[in-house]
Amino acid sequence: MRASILFLSVAHAWPDAQHNLPRAEHGQQDFSQALQLQLQTSHLAAKDLQYTRANGQPYPNPTSAERIGETGPILLKHHHLIENLAHFVRERIPERVVHAAGAGAHGVFTTTTDFAKQHTMMDVFSEVGKQTPITVRFSTVGGEAGSADQARDPRGFAMKFRTQKGIWDIVMNNTPVFFLRDPAKFPFFVHTQKRNPQTHRKDPNAVWDYFGQNAESLHQFLRLFSDAGTPQGFVNMDGFTSHSYRWIKKDSSWVYVKLHAVSDQGIHNFTAAESEKIAGENPDYAAEDLFTRIESGKFPSWTVYAQVLTPAEAEKFRYNVLDLTKDWPENLVAKHEIGKFELNQNPQNYFAEIEQAAFSPSNVVDGWEISEDPVLQARAFSYPDAQRYRLGTNFQQIPVNCPMNPVGKDGVFGGVTGNQGSRPNYLSSFQSINIPPRQYDDSNHTIWTAGAIRYLSQVSSQLLIR
């Protein structure tokens, strides 16, 4: 099934271009009509549109500039030129501090078994055959936007599910582990993957210095410097949540869970020599491969599996199940199929649909919670904070990020989409908003009895145990 995601319909149920604009009642102005019209016209052909200024004035001379005579200065009253230049120098937004180079597409996730339903109340898994629209973005980690997407680097694998109960994001990598388990190390680690502050060149000395000082990175290091560090594009690799999450049922019982998206195309990697050659010849190889496959109807797909551990099993496991530097071997924790997803729609506008896509592990839905993995908890803060910087405080109202049913007002919540109208901006007894019932009692897994631990990276005898 080829799903077509029309983002002007996703965002607060805005009508698509085939519907008439709603009319305001009793002669009142409907301020949402202009926004709806802008969203509609973004999907029209150029031949159906007129060139206008920013205020909507049809403008007959886009390349002209008024000046005094043939040698005089340009007039400040030439508003089109001024606003055009002002827009031009502001049209680039800050790039992602990591995962800046990437590509993405849209598609559909289909629940294929009832295994997940046995462990979680998540709506997306409520019945076999249920389909959920998704957006997926693949990326490298260390390179800047425009850098070679075939570089030796882990790959990001972020997914956004538009469920009936809210936006659910999972931010995966193509490896089941990571370089660290202490979030305080993350900024320092990333700096070693970026450019030297003096030479502004990549600094291999910094990279090797970090690995030499931080033994817990060994597992990921070995994966990175195998052929798995240079996958053949984005579609020939798997995705792993890496972190442990929680699946929760209505009766408040819960299990730890990790997800694994297995490429139906198989795992195919380049050698170091092949990767270096392709990166030099076509730095956008992976992005081009993804786009071309979808455009030609050869839709890439993945089968998703889950591994689960009960709290009792986790306590007896061979190491801490919250340790991001270790995975769960399949001979110890079996994996079970839960669904499949297919990417079948290229973005119509990369900036609007992929560059502005905002993924965060804090976007959870009923039945899915983050665990006490300290790196995961740090990511749950830093991802939306980065998006507030990169995309602005109203980033959740960008159509690709927009949930179906938010009710926040003002500032970060109200922004540009009506600000929830005339309804009170507090919990009013005069116009009461419906408060959903608590879906489960989480008191049985939010009791902490230990003291504070300030350092998570001690070298122990478990270092080489996978």
* The residue to which tokens 């991001």 are assigned: 324
Q: Is the pLDDT of residue 144 over 70?
A: yes
Fold (CATH) for 102-401 = Catalase HpII,  Chain A, domain 1 (2.40.180)
Q: Name residues whose C-beta falls within 8 Å of residue 1's C-beta, 6 or more positions apart in sequence.
A: 108, 131
Does 59 appear as a known binding residue? Answer: no
The catalytic site residues sit at 99, 173
117: left (phi over 0), alpha (psi -120 to 50) or beta: alpha
User: CB-based burial of residue 390 (10 Å sphere; 0-12 exposed, 13-18 middle, 19+ buried)?
Assistant: middle
Least confident of 13-17, 55-59, 255-259, 363-367: 13-17
Q: How confident is the model at residue 422 (pLDDT cuts 50, 70, 90)?
A: low
The CATH number of 16-88 is which of 3.40.50.800, 4.10.91.20, 3.40.50.360, 3.40.190.10?
4.10.91.20
Beta bridge partners of 453: none
Residue 353 has phi, psi (to 5 degrees) of -105, -20
Looking at residue 412, what is its pLDDT? 46
Extract the tokens encoding 322.
């919250």
Q: Is the pLDDT of residue 39 over 80?
A: no
Least confident of 61-75, 83-97, 371-385: 61-75
Q: Kindly report, residue by residue over 159-180, the tens digit of the pLDDT.
A: 999 998 899 999 999 999 999 9
CA-nearest of 181, 188, 178, 157 to 373 is 181
Q: Is the pLDDT of residue 203 over 90?
A: yes
Q: Is the pLDDT of residue 443 over 90?
A: no
Provide the residue ranges of all domains of the chain, joining segments of one domain with +.
Answer: 16-88, 102-401
- Supply the angle between the helices 204-213 and 186-193 in degrees, to the nearest 10: 150
Q: What are the DSSP E strand ranges found in 310-364?
A: 335-345
Angstrom distances, CA of residue 379 to CA of 129, 158, 386 = 32, 13, 10
Sign of CA dihedral 300, 286, 237, 274: positive
Looking at residue 404, what is its pLDDT? 67
Per-residue DSSP letter, 117: G
Q: Kindly report, residue by residue over 273-301, the tens digit of the pLDDT.
A: 999 999 999 999 999 999 999 999 999 99
* The residue to which tokens 């980065």 are assigned: 386
Beta bridge partners of 240: 173, 260
- The share of the chain scoring above pLDDT 90, in percent, equals 64
C-beta neighbour count of 19 within 10 angstroms: 11
Task: Report the alpha-carbon distance of residue 188 to residue 185 in Å, rounded.
Answer: 5
Beta bridge partners of 106: 135, 345
